[in-house]
């Protein structure tokens, strides 16, 4: 496992304040939105991760980077990790989080999304949204003059993918050339992981039941990026084949939030896609198990795998905070307040 020592060595190679990817991303991303992981180039993704590693190692350097910045979290769906990692993250950089529960009053119902945007931008510096419709996020982004961040929609979960690939870098040193396998529903998490994986040069294999493949536009885009980056995207309906030679096997719930009415129908369809010890044994010996969480224990993954030695699920959860801190620093121009960057 890529230990703290490895990360410290890597950090020592090129100081973050001189890293050209980080400096270019700081200039390009200030004031931008993150609706899709596809909004980021390969070098911007690498920049977020490099900064995320530094934030994790040296949190005190960033203690006042976002002093007095206000972040609103407007969530139409439940959350543990995303809410708390954003709140703790901004609090540890001097900013403040305001949680606005939209679970009983979906965005756009009481007033138009454009009008919400034109109000909220007057009070806060960044809007973090968790929604059903992906269009709610793009519409907010089109109308707000402050950055809008997708904290999960029905179509994508970009912040999750940033943390997950940061975790893979931590574990393996680099994501480039890794065999990354996702088995289960071709859903929001799957979409963001596919795009993030190929941006970083990983070979991405997706194993889903028939009828539950990822969106064709995402597949096409991922294949285009993969071609540029010398890696590949494979789709299969055979979970065992998907797991062969994998360095990482990732799964998610087969019933996402908002799809609960399909639970009974989906359970038998997804049973062959359960990640259990037999499936893990098809992967490489060094393989890790990943899950965005929350997990439905002994449905999409067994206890033995989730709690086993190959599982890195809680490192993923921890890294949500560090990766999002890096993202917020770049979107809000926070590096200007970090001494080592402004010298």
Q: Which residues are catalytic?
A: 130, 157, 160, 252, 292, 320
- Residue 81 CB, shortest distance to ligand CP, in Å, is 4
Identity of the residue, 159 or 329, whose beta carbon is nearer to ligand NVA in the bound complex: 159
Q: Which of 35, 66, 152, 226 binds ligand CP (CB under 6 A)?
A: 152
DSSP annotation string for 308-342: STTB-HHHHHHHHHHHHHHHHHHHTTGGGGSHHHH
| C-beta of residue 92 within 8 angstroms of C-beta of residue 71 | no
166 binds ligand CP (CB under 6 A): no
How many whole angstroms separate alpha carbon 135 and alpha carbon 22?
Answer: 30
- Residue 17 CB, shortest distance to ligand CP, in Å, is 31
Cis preceding-peptide flag for 180 (omega within 30 of 0): no
Beta-carbon contacts of 119 under 8 Å, excluding residues fewer than 6 positions away, are none
Identity of the residue, 80 or 336, whose beta carbon is nearer to ligand CP in the bound complex: 80
How many whole angstroms separate alpha carbon 183 and alpha carbon 207?
Answer: 5
3-state helix, strand, coil in the chain (%, to 5): 50, 15, 35
Tell me the site size for ligand CP, rule CB under 6 A: 9
Q: Which of 38, 65, 71, 82 binds ligand CP (CB under 6 A)?
A: 82
34 binds ligand CP (CB under 6 A): no
- Residue 78 CB, shortest distance to ligand NVA, in Å, is 9
- Residue 10 CB, shortest distance to ligand NVA, in Å, is 29
Q: Which of 102, 131, 136, 160 binds ligand CP (CB under 6 A)?
A: 160
193 binds ligand CP (CB under 6 A): no
| C-beta of residue 317 within 8 angstroms of C-beta of residue 166 | no
Identity of the residue, 152 or 329, whose beta carbon is nearer to ligand NVA in the bound complex: 152
11 binds ligand CP (CB under 6 A): no
How many whole angstroms separate alpha carbon 305 and alpha carbon 283?
Answer: 13
What burial class does residue 135 get, using C-beta atoms within 10 Å of its C-beta: 0-12 exposed, 13-18 middle, 19+ buried?
Answer: middle
Identity of the residue, 240 or 256, whose beta carbon is nearer to ligand NVA in the bound complex: 256
Give the footprint of ligand NVA on this chain (CB under 6 A).
Answer: 152, 187-189, 252-253, 256-257, 292
Identity of the residue, 321 or 335, whose beta carbon is nearer to ligand CP in the bound complex: 321
- Residue 111 CB, shortest distance to ligand NVA, in Å, is 26
Neighbouring CB atoms inside 10 A of 314's CB total: 11
| C-beta of residue 150 within 8 angstroms of C-beta of residue 35 | yes
196 binds ligand CP (CB under 6 A): no
How many whole angstroms separate alpha carbon 24 and alpha carbon 50?
Answer: 13
Q: Of these partners, ligand NVA, ligand CP, none, which one is at the site of residue 92 (CB under 5 to 8 Å by kind)?
A: none
- Residue 150 CB, shortest distance to ligand NVA, in Å, is 12
Q: Of these partners, ligand CP, ligand NVA, none, which one is at the site of residue 80 (CB under 5 to 8 Å by kind)?
A: ligand CP
Q: Which of 25, 195, 292, 321 binds ligand CP (CB under 6 A)?
A: 292
211: left (phi over 0), alpha (psi -120 to 50) or beta: left
Identity of the residue, 16 or 317, whose beta carbon is nearer to ligand NVA in the bound complex: 317
79 binds ligand CP (CB under 6 A): yes
| C-beta of residue 42 within 8 angstroms of C-beta of residue 195 | no
1 binds ligand CP (CB under 6 A): no
Q: Residue 207 is inside which H or E element, if any?
A: strand 203-207
293 binds ligand CP (CB under 6 A): yes
Which residues in this chain contact ligand CP in the complex, by CB under 6 A? 79-82, 152, 160, 292-294
């Amino acid at each position: 496992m890529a230990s703290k020592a490895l990360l410290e060595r890597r950090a020592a190679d090129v100081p973050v304040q001189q890293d050209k990817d980080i400096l270019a991303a700081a200039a390009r991303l200030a004031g931008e939105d993150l609706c899709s992981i596809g909004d980021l180039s390969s070098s911007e993704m690498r920049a977020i991760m490099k900064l995320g590693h530094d934030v994790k190692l040296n949190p005190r350097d960033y203690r006042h980077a976002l002093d007095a910045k206000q972040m609103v979290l407007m969530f139409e769906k439940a959350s543990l990790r995303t809410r708390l990692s954003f709140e703790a993250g901004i609090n540890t950089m001097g900013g403040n989080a305001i949680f606005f529960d939209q679970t009983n009053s979906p965005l756009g119902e009481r007033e138009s999304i454009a009008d919400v945007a034109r109000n909220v931008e007057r009070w806060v510096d960044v809007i973090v949204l968790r929604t059903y419709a992906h269009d709610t996020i793009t519409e907010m982004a089109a109308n707000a003059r402050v950055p809008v961040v997708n904290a999960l929609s029905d179509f994508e979960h970009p912040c999750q993918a940033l943390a997950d690939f940061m975790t893979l870098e931590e574990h393996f040193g680099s994501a480039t050339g890794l065999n990354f396998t996702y088995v289960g529903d071709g859903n929001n998490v799957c979409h963001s992981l596919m795009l993030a994986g190929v941006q970083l040069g990983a070979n991405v294999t997706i194993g889903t039941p028939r009828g539950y493949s990822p969106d064709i536009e995402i597949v096409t885009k991922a294949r285009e990026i993969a071609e540029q980056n010398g890696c590949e995207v494979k789709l299969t309906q055979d979970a065992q084949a998907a797991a062969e030679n994998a360095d990482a096997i990732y799964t998610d719930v087969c019933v996402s939030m908002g799809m609960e009415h399909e639970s009974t129908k989906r359970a038998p369809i997804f049973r062959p896609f359960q990640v259990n010890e037999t499936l893990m044994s098809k992967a490489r010996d060094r393989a890790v198990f990943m899950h965005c969480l929350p997990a439905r224990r002994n449905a999409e993954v067994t206890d033995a795998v989730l709690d086993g030695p190959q599982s890195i699920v809680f490192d993923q959860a921890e890294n949500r905070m560090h990766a999002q801190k890096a993202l917020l620093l770049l979107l809000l121009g926070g590096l200007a307040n970090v001494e080592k960057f402004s010298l």
